[in-house]
Structure 1
Amino acid sequence: MSSRLAYVDALRGFAILGVIIAHAGSIAGLDGRFGMLAGFAGMGVQLFFVISAFTIFLTFARASSSESRPVGNFFIRRLFRIVPIYWTGILLYTFIYGLESRGWRPGPELWHYMLHLTLTNVLHPETSSSVVPGGWSISVEVLFYFTMPIWFFLVGSVRSAALFTVAAMFVAMAGIPIIRTIIDPVLAYDNLDEYWTRSFLSQLPCFGFGFILYFLTVSPSNPLRLLGRPIPNACVLAAAPIAFVTGYKLALPLHYVVCLASLMVGAALSQMPWRILVNQITTFVGRVSYSAYLLHFLVLQQLSEHTHSLGTLPRFLILLTLGTVITIPIAYLSYRAVEIPCTSLAKRVILNRERHAAHRKLVSA
């Protein structure tokens, strides 16, 4: 990614660090204010969604101006980006745990694997994260990919992106309670509140905030130009946590509030990437964040077996520190061994498609 977009990788870095904080806190049994703060950090997942929507619109816009089959190529890029490392995660967790619990949810049954292999596991409350811990968010991401051609067509400006986001939030907040009156008695599952919060319908508005960020940053009128100055930029950065706290006190859906705060931070950093936030460390962590996301569950779970005798806070600090220090290098190896080769393969496949398309066009002419 170009240095101009280094802030995007940095945001990914903060997202994965937040997720590690949340899961370290969960294992350690943090409660009270510390537990609440650690739980909030887990909403780095929603930051991932905002960034994903932003980068997808950015890459698709570039592809549309230079490729003959941008929609098909989009799916090829996403296929090679997501599936290989996720399937590697399926193999890894199955090799280590078999059909036993991964430490976070009850162990999977054999029928769960079909949903995980197709990355539709978030559609059923028993399968969302049963094979690969945290797999629910990857499944939401993939379902979002399936709908992207619709949003490419419908969303073309800051205004339409904002309308989409508001409409999606309204549909989720008004529609899910109605749907639950019909579906919940059939599902008869214990933790249905979490299931519906993590559902695609509930999470879709998060991607809308990424749409807004994209159109704000590419608009010819440059609506963010004021944020190129230090004081206004710092004010927006400072206002982001205030917006989150305000939304929390108003009992608004937290995953939407954190997306609004993420939009504010992303807009500020797009105009002024402060060195303390956007640097070699945060961007490096961001580049390996996908592998880190899938691997950190395993690392934390293994560490937890050796920290039972510690108090809650010391255990959390050790899990967080060692979990991060161990996860990131392993994630880098995964990034080099799996992610980069698969991304390169996708580029070659797309290049061949474009050559064939150009050849057919030349012949038909």
Structure 2
Amino acid sequence: MIPDSQRLAYIEALRGIAILMVILHHSHPYFASISNYHLPAAVEEILWNGDKGVTLFFLMSAFTLCLSLNSKSKKEHKPVRNYFIRRVFRIAPLYMIIIGVVLLIGINTPSLSSVLANLFFVHGLNANWMNSTVPGGWSVGVEVLFYLIFPVLFFRLKNLPAAINITLAALVLAKIVTAVMSRYPLTGDSITWGVYVYENIFSQLPVFLIGVCLFQLKHTPVGQQERDSLVRCCYYLSAFILIHLLGGNLFKPHYLFAIAFAIAAYALSERPVKLLVNPITLWIGRISYSLYLIHLLVNNLLVKYHLNVFSSNSLADVGIRFCVVLGISAPVAYITYRLIELPFQEMGKRIIARLEHK
């Protein structure tokens, strides 16, 4: 039998690819406060779409949460309680330390309410809190909001048709909510609000649910009853695609990316490709959470100390910036992974073990 670590290596590799996409995105001259740049249109398109690495993170997060809770619910007395303990010790320690570092080095000057919201992981509920404390903190805020509703979704969505149906419903909900938000902004800063319209939990929920669909596709046997339900889902999905093509715009770009990523993840789960699943992507995937938070600090520090221009040639500048940010961030991320992430995850495991044996 193939060990889980090898069988599930593609998950870690996809996390590695996701963070490399995000770092590439933040290598765009815009994020280095450079306004006068000239990039080929294809490169520009690739750089701007590097932010879909977060989409891949969300997708794989939902998928791995399903794997974990499915496994733990068969072995543990209180799997939901233990699920929340694991989430706290996985996310909170490093994030809180990063908040302290941000305040110490003065990258941002957030309000007290924003700092408190970030400390309690509710910053995803307010446009002005989303990114004003920790650079890129929005994704953590959205992820935590999904954590809160995930157990209910997991135990309710027992098969692929149910997962597809709720995903389609979430697409409609996202369309309605984001349309209302765009029409009735709650802040005077149109840029901040525009970003929030994209980054809020309603907009991102379908991405997580596509990850749940991927889990059901991989792990739920399909009987005759499920096949009948799946046929109905195909009709619904066809209708959604037709509405989209006729101008309904139901499938935002990040949803299409999520579907493409899910298909790729399924293929990799069946037949890994060395180009994508290899020691480099696996190592980067392991430190991806630390690397996500730290590379943004490095980016901001380079701008703060006017170390943001590496070449007069825009294309070379992007390439050098990517290598510099990755070269600085990866070793630091490995240290925080070893000294912060792993010890606190082990602490969470020990707490769960004690509670399970009471």
Give TM-score, length-normalised by structure 2: 0.85
Q: Which residue of the partner structure matches residue 301 of structure 1?
A: 300
* Amino acid aligned to 1:82: I
How far has the Cα of 1:198 moved from its partner? 0.4
Q: Which residue of the partner structure matches residue 174 of structure 1?
A: 176
Q: Which residue of the partner structure matches residue 83 of structure 2?
A: 74
- Tell me how far apart the structure 2 counterparts of residues 175 and 301 of structure 1 sit (CA, whole Å): 32
Q: Which residue of the partner structure matches residue 258 of structure 2?
A: 259
* Amino acid aligned to 2:141: S
Q: Which residue of the partner structure matches residue 200 of structure 1?
A: 201
How far has the Cα of 1:320 moved from its partner? 0.3
Structure 2 alignment gaps of length 5 or more:
224-243
Q: Which residue of the partner structure matches residue 13 of structure 1?
A: 16
- Tell me how far apart the structure 2 counterparts of residues 156 and 219 of structure 1 sit (CA, whole Å): 8
- Tell me how far apart the structure 2 counterparts of residues 267 and 141 of structure 1 sit (CA, whole Å): 22
Given that 1:303 and 1:319 are in contact with CA atoms closer than 8 Å, whether structure 2 keeps it comes out as no
* Amino acid aligned to 1:258: F
* Amino acid aligned to 2:122: T
* Amino acid aligned to 1:88: I
Alpha-carbon deviations, 1:125-160, whole Å to 9, x = none? 111111110000000000001111220222111111
Q: Is residue 24 from structure 1 mapped to residue 33 from structure 2 by the alignment?
A: no
Determine helix, strand or coil for the equivalent of 2:74: helix
Where do 1:91-130 residues align within 5 Å?
Answer: 91-97=100-106, 101=108, 107-130=109-132
Given that 1:307 and 1:315 are in contact with CA atoms closer than 8 Å, whether structure 2 keeps it comes out as no
Q: Which residue of the partner structure matches residue 157 of structure 1?
A: 159
Relative to structure 1, is the Cα distance of residues 290 and 37 closer, same or farther in structure 2, using a 3 angstrom cutoff?
same
How far has the Cα of 1:250 moved from its partner? 10
Determine helix, strand or coil for the equivalent of 1:42: helix
Q: Which residue of the partner structure matches residue 268 of structure 1?
A: 267
Given that 1:136 and 1:198 are in contact with CA atoms closer than 8 Å, whether structure 2 keeps it comes out as yes
Determine helix, strand or coil for the equivalent of 2:94: helix
Q: Which segment drifts farther, 2-11 or 33-42?
A: 33-42
- Tell me how far apart the structure 2 counterparts of residues 138 and 45 of structure 1 sit (CA, whole Å): 10
- Tell me how far apart the structure 1 counterparts of residues 272 and 90 of structure 2 sit (CA, whole Å): 26
Q: Which residue of the partner structure matches residue 237 of structure 1?
A: none
Q: Is residue 37 from structure 1 mapped to residue 55 from structure 2 by the alignment?
A: no
- Tell me how far apart the structure 2 counterparts of residues 110 and 18 of structure 1 sit (CA, whole Å): 32
Given that 2:310 and 2:321 are in contact with CA atoms closer than 8 Å, whether structure 1 keeps it comes out as no
* Amino acid aligned to 1:16: I
Instruction: Specify which structure has the bigger relative contact order, considering alpha-carbon pairs within 8 angstroms and separated by 6 or more residues.
Output: 2
Fraction of identical pairs, as percent: 35
* Amino acid aligned to 1:193: G
* Amino acid aligned to 1:52: S
Give TM-score, length-normalised by structure 1: 0.84
How far has the Cα of 1:314 moved from its partner? 2.0
- Tell me how far apart the structure 1 counterparts of residues 71 and 177 of structure 2 sit (CA, whole Å): 35
